[in-house]
Amino acid sequence: MAPRPGRVTPVPPGWTHAGRISPGHDLQLTFALRQRGTARLAQLVHAVSDPRSPRYGQHLSLEQLRDLIRPSSATLMTVLKWLQGHGVENCSSVTTLDFLECRMPASTAERLLPGAEFHRYVKGQRSLVRSPLPYAVPEELAEHVDFVGGLHRFPAERTAVSRAWARDAEPGRRRGGGAAFHLGVMPSVLRKRYNMTGGDVGLLPNNSQACAQFLEQYFHQADLAEFMQLFGSSFAHRSRVDRVVGHQGTGKAGLEASLDVEYIMSSGANISTWVFSNAGRHESQEPFLAWLLLLSNMSSLPWVHSVSYGDDEDSLSLAYLERVNVEFMKAAARGLTVLFASGDDGAGCRRVSGGNHTFRPSFPASR
């Protein structure tokens, strides 16, 4: 057996163990199949991105990308035979053929991946199924599978946005004896900071952008329209998202989702905007991985993607990091630009008990 990955992320604070799940509990696992042509892909990304290269701007279609990096026939046959040998038939692939999403009972998953043991964890109203133990794959599979998603990673947590500025802005409040003030950053503030005038808006019909939301963070079209009515009077803008990919909930709008949508449409004003909503509604699903699969399965996508999501880099396996980096190269080869927030805490810090504190980079912003 070949162990995968080498270490397991500890259960994050706030999550409570609620016991082992039943053998028949339905799981959804993602198998990242070994790709071909990744060295060639890296060279091609540099070529199409370098203005000095004769290949500059000659991006690949999704089908051309598939032909470059699709797993070998041996990999596809070996993995499918392994899954079918354990009775796993409910699988779907992506256009690039390098991911498989499969559903199976927990008992089947534990036989398929020796060492794995699936338990339920809860935090407030949220519930997840993860394995606290490392898994292994047969030696003959090690060269064909990069990693299996849906076992170990807990969703990244966002720090609550501080509202200290709102308290400071209350009438009569002073700081240091000076006049009252607040630190609200409205679209006009950002546009002024970046020297954008009323004419700096999208004008070409093929301009397009998107943001990605995770963990049942939703926006509301009505909130967006009201926001633009309040803050968009000085520039041409759109007041509706053109397309939502995924599940869009009807409950209370999320602060994170609203912030992302309203400000990308204020800075990238008058540009067609999509929202990718990756709720992570299945207990064993990893929403960030689900978003990457969407990119590998859609031939027509917005050109710019803004993502406010990240994990502590030291919590991730090397196999996962390397594979996600290849996913970003796939996007770049198609001409997509992907921007990641650097996090709420700057460089971040890992506090070591009784020792020296160290920097803690956030992935994927650290790439």
Q: Looking at residues 112-138, what average pLDDT do you find?
A: 91
Cα 59 from Cα 53, distance rounded (Å): 13
pLDDT for residue 65? 96
**Quick one: residue 84, left, alpha or beta (phi over 0 = left, psi -120 to 50 = alpha)?**
alpha
Show Cβ contacts of residue 264 under 8 Å, excluding neighbours closer than 6 positions.
209, 211, 273, 306
Report the percent of the chain where pLDDT is more than 90: 57
The answer to which of 18-27, 43-52, 187-196, 279-288 has the lowest mean pLDDT is 279-288
Which residue has better confidence, 180 or 77? 77
Q: Looking at residues 165-181, what average pLDDT do you find?
A: 45
pLDDT band at 156 (very low <50, low <70, confident <90, very high): low
Q: Which two tokens stand for residue 291?
A: 């978003």
pLDDT > 90? residue 284:
no
pLDDT for residue 13? 84
pLDDT for residue 345? 64
pLDDT for residue 159? 47
For all residues of the chain together, what is the average pLDDT?
85
pLDDT for residue 311? 79
Closest CA to 215 of 331, 130, 308: 308
pLDDT for residue 54? 97
Q: Looking at residues 28-40, what average pLDDT do you find?
A: 95
Closest CA to 315 of 30, 4, 32, 8: 8
pLDDT band at 170 (very low <50, low <70, confident <90, very high): very low
pLDDT for residue 367? 65
User: What domains does the chain contain, in order, with CATH numbers?
Assistant: 2-149 (no CATH), 200-363 (3.40.50.200)
Show Cβ contacts of residue 181 under 8 Å, excluding neighbours closer than 6 positions.
168, 169, 175
pLDDT > 70? residue 71:
yes
pLDDT for residue 167? 46
pLDDT for residue 113? 95
Q: Which two tokens stand for residue 77?
A: 């046959």
pTM for the model: 0.85
pLDDT > 50? residue 207:
yes
pLDDT > 90? residue 259:
no
Closest CA to 144 of 74, 55, 92, 231: 74
pLDDT for residue 256? 79
The answer to which of 71-75, 110-114, 163-167, 255-259 has the lowest mean pLDDT is 163-167
Phi, psi (deg, nearest 5) at residue 74: -65, -40
Closest CA to 248 of 228, 268, 219: 219
Vertex 257: Cα angle to 254 and 261 (nearest 5): 140
Which residue has better confidence, 213 or 29? 29
pLDDT for residue 279? 65
pLDDT band at 344 (very low <50, low <70, confident <90, very high): low
